[in-house]
């Protein structure tokens, strides 16, 4: 993919995520793989609902800016970790919704989603009759250390769904293309919101 096409896809994704309330203030980050060694990613501190192509930059596979004067997202290494671990990934989305923030702040393990029609958006077959455990990792401002925790998680669960939540922080989802990643993000966020609403209501 050319940089121009990647930037256009990132700008459109930012506007979509902003319209859905998933990237308040300057939260979130978005990236697209340009090739084996290059990633287009949002610059640090930009509001995702007001992105332009100038708010997108290029980093290498290690997260280093191709333009030494440019400052990529603080969490660029988490994007690099996804591309490295899952070589078929073409885009990564990171958002901060109310549902993923509230659910992940609770003192418990993975968030289990079962029986939802939209589970079809994830690997496992064209059926709702399945379950997905969305991993929740403790927040950590040391991004290399957080990436190491993710690597250990993925080593232990190689078939984990293409998404995880950082506790009280936000969700990461990826896919083969931007459209694919956005479909998975929308499906996951819908199920998380349903899960939150169900927990708020008393058991009949």
CATH number of the domain that residue 137 is part of: 3.40.225.10
Q: Are 41 and 30 in contact (CB under 8 A)?
A: yes
The pLDDT of residue 161 is 74
The pLDDT of residue 69 is 83
Domain count for the chain = 1
Task: Tell whether 180 is in a known binding site.
Answer: no
144: number of Cβ within 10 Å = 11
| Boundaries of domain holding 166 | 3-200
> Could you tell me which of 51, 59, 14 has the C-alpha nearest to residue 182?
14
pLDDT in tens, the chain (204 residues): 899 999 999 999 999 999 999 999 999 999 999 988 999 999 988 999 999 999 999 999 999 999 888 888 889 999 999 999 999 999 999 999 999 999 999 867 899 888 888 888 887 656 667 788 899 999 998 999 999 999 998 888 877 677 999 999 999 999 999 999 999 999 999 999 998 988 777 655
DSSP classification of residue 19: H
Pairwise CA distance, residues 141 & 145, whole Å? 8
The two three-digit tokens of residue 168, written as one number: 């009280």
Length of the chain: 204
Pairwise CA distance, residues 76 & 29, whole Å? 8
Task: Tell whether 94 is in a known binding site.
Answer: yes
The pLDDT of residue 128 is 66
Pairwise CA distance, residues 60 & 197, whole Å? 41
Pairwise CA distance, residues 123 & 66, whole Å? 34
3-state helix, strand, coil in the chain (%, to 5): 40, 20, 40
Q: Are 116 and 194 in contact (CB under 8 A)?
A: yes
- Taking CA atoms, 37 is separated from 84, 173, 177, in Å, by 10, 20, 17
The pLDDT of residue 114 is 86
Handedness of CA 8, 10, 15, 20 (dihedral sign): positive
80: number of Cβ within 10 Å = 23
């Amino acid at each position: 993919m050319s940089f121009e096409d990647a930037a256009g896809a990132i700008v459109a994704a930012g506007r979509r995520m902003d319209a859905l309330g998933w990237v308040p203030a300057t939260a979130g980050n978005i990236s697209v793989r340009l090739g084996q060694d290059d990633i287009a990613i949002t610059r640090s501190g930009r509001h995702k609902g007001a992105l332009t192509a100038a708010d997108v930059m290029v980093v290498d596979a290690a997260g280093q800016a191709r333009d030494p004067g440019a400052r990529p997202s603080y969490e660029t290494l988490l994007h690099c970790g996804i591309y490295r671990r899952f070589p078929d990934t073409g885009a990564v989305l990171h958002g901060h919704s109310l549902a993923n923030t509230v659910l992940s702040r609770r003192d418990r393990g993975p968030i289990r989603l079962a029986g939802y029609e939209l589970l079809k958006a994830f690997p496992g077959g064209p059926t709702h009759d399945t379950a997905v455990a969305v991993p929740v990792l403790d927040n950590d401002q040391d991004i290399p250390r957080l990436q190491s925790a993710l690597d250990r998680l993925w080593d232990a669960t190689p078939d984990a769904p293409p998404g995880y939540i950082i506790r009280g922080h936000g969700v990461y989802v990826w896919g083969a293309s931007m459209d694919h990643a956005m479909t998975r993000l929308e499906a996951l966020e819908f199920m998380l919101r349903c899960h939150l609403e169900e927990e708020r209501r008393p058991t009949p």
